[in-house]
Structure 1
């Protein structure tokens, strides 16, 4: 059980609505205080952080983008603010050490402890601005960088799409997608040898796509340019698979690894 105090009725009402829709038991103690019963500290902490971001921090970030970074296109501003929200409110960048620290800093100020009996939202918000105002420019800078990288990546994908569309189609390819090894098969069931694939890659003008050439999951398929690509895997959420789908579009079909039609012995 914890009491949460507010200075702003709008902030309090937003949290009340969230608690109501999430079916969390609570009661109003006064006009500026609510009491939450049998709460999940992590969930409520997430809601408090979201409340702060969308009602306090986001307008400030938007103003800074216009005045200091000279962004005036609202679509660009929205894209940067979306990335900023992902950096601060989600674990999307948890494996990127120089990005995850932003979220950790943010959550430090909006985390309820299991033994905590009272939490003052306004005081924590002001404490954030006094101690962690550096995060404002930091998250904007990193969000802008992420947006630029994404734009470059989209240009790269488009160039690969155009490349495979202009080349003649090869025969269909079956791919056995495993964590430690990816094997490529002809429709007859014969496995392409590494030597064959390396020779195909050397003979194919993909040297201008250095990133793709270094990706052993992608470069063989660029060289083969199959009419259909049948991939058998237990990890359909692998980001490389999404890249392949972006390049080859509807030519990529994904199936459970257990349904792979050929036997293979090393």
Structure 2
């Protein structure tokens, strides 16, 4: 028998329902899940006790902990260890932390050398659940989850670093946007071909060579930016401040292209790389 005692009645109810669903899904008829006392959930198995622990109890408890407790712990770290109190900031850091753990956001790098938290929770449960056992669920969380908590803290630290980088990037983008908006355009239109490197062309599709591009750069832009600004692409582009930019690329998710789009917004149009020559030929015929 396994008997779990909970401080919160709602936790006991959720665990009870989760165990019932798992037993029904696996069609196991030798397990009885009991919830007679409001804060106690018991599991009785008439046979294959270890199998029941590994296939039913550990997966259900692991899912329950991650689904119902993890966000609270992450927010607790964010607020009480790193002193973020603003609701929106905490929410954004939590979202980044979840994305880091789930690995489902290509814009956010994964954290290296962190064991999946499902594995850490399951291992802690496997080491602890020696049948028969009666235990406090909250005590298990407090004293038996060290590896999981250490991994969670590492994730939170990485999420905060990522959040700060994103804030710096947004400040950088806003600064360039404001600089561009205050300038008179040096050229009305620019065409940019992305073919490993970035090649600039004027409105007649005549290439603007590197030495010409450098002449456009406003030195105040370089001096007043807190972050490094690329002198081959961004610095001349923002200094020229064209009203219209056409980019030709096969890599829409390229970081530089995303940055250009974030600065110039609706002034940017993006086309496939192969359309560049067609448009260039048409322009030359006019």
TM-score (norm 2): 0.65
Query: Residues 105-131 of structure 1, C-alpha deviation per residue, up to 9 Å, x if partnerless?
Result: 4354379xxxxxxx97x96x9698133
Counterpart contact for 1:65–1:77, Cα < 8 Å: yes
Structure 2: how far apart are the matches of 1:50 and 1:241? Answer: 40
Structure 2: which 5+ runs fail to align? 5-11, 34-42, 45-59, 130-139, 282-286
Quote the residue 1:142 is aligned against.
Answer: 158
Question: 1:173 and 1:10, CA in 2 relative to 1: closer, same or farther beyond 3 A?
Answer: same
Structure 1: how far apart are the matches of 2:246 and 2:219? Answer: 22
Quote the residue 1:171 is aligned against.
Answer: 188
Counterpart contact for 1:11–1:51, Cα < 8 Å: yes
Structure 1: how far apart are the matches of 2:77 and 2:244? Answer: 48
Question: 1:200 and 1:144, CA in 2 relative to 1: closer, same or farther beyond 3 A?
Answer: same
Corresponding residue SS for 2:151: helix
Quote the residue 1:37 is aligned against.
Answer: none
Question: 1:94 and 1:153, CA in 2 relative to 1: closer, same or farther beyond 3 A?
Answer: closer
Structure 1: how far apart are the matches of 2:255 and 2:63? Answer: 27
Question: Alignment partner for residue 206 of structure 1, among 209, 212, 221?
Answer: 221
Cα displacement (A) at 1:214: 2.5
Question: 1:9 and 1:235, CA in 2 relative to 1: closer, same or farther beyond 3 A?
Answer: farther
Question: Alignment partner for residue 247 of structure 1, among 263, 273, 282?
Answer: 263
Structure 1: which 5+ runs fail to align? 20-24, 34-46, 112-118
Structure 2: how far apart are the matches of 1:248 and 1:15? Answer: 54
Counterpart contact for 2:216–2:240, Cα < 8 Å: yes
Question: 1:161 and 1:26, CA in 2 relative to 1: closer, same or farther beyond 3 A?
Answer: same
Question: 1:222 and 1:50, CA in 2 relative to 1: closer, same or farther beyond 3 A?
Answer: farther
Question: Alignment partner for residue 117 of structure 2, among 106, 109, 117?
Answer: 106
| Root mean square deviation, CA, Å | 3.9
Quote the residue 2:51 is aligned against.
Answer: none
Quote the residue 1:85 is aligned against.
Answer: 98
Cα displacement (A) at 1:247: 0.6
Cα displacement (A) at 1:78: 1.2
Larger gyration radius, structure 1 or structure 2 = 2
| Residue 181, structure 1, aligned to residue 194, structure 2 | no
Question: Alignment partner for residue 241 of structure 2, among 195, 204, 225?
Answer: 225
Counterpart contact for 1:83–1:143, Cα < 8 Å: yes
Counterpart contact for 2:202–2:208, Cα < 8 Å: yes
Cα displacement (A) at 1:82: 0.9
Corresponding residue SS for 1:189: coil
TM-score (norm 1): 0.69
Structure 1: how far apart are the matches of 2:240 and 2:157? Answer: 40
Counterpart contact for 1:93–1:100, Cα < 8 Å: no
Quote the residue 1:158 is aligned against.
Answer: 174
Cα displacement (A) at 1:76: 1.9
